[in-house]
Amino acid sequence: MPSPLRKDEAHKLIDQLPADATWEDLMEQIYVRQAIEQGLSDSEQGKLQSVQEIRKKYGLIAS
């Protein structure tokens, strides 16, 4: 479940963008923030995979 929007955090994110930032720049920052928060949440819940498991999943190492 996504974390609730905190307006102060959204303002900080916008304030960190350069004056000539585009909507795409803002959307990218929002996406990065969501991905990091989701990863942290997964980690806290023990939803982790080892590097070996990921490599095996994508055929980067032999079974």
The two structure tokens encoding residue 26:
């803002």
Query: Is 0.85 topped by the overall pTM?
Result: no
| pLDDT attached to residue 6 | 86
pLDDT given at position 63: 56
What pLDDT, on a 0 to 100 scale, did the predictor assign at position 18? 97
| Mean pLDDT per 10-residue section of the chain, whose length is 63 residues | 80 96 96 94 92 90 67
pLDDT of residue 1: 61
Distances (CA, A) of 1 to 4, 9, 10, 56, 61: 9, 18, 18, 28, 33
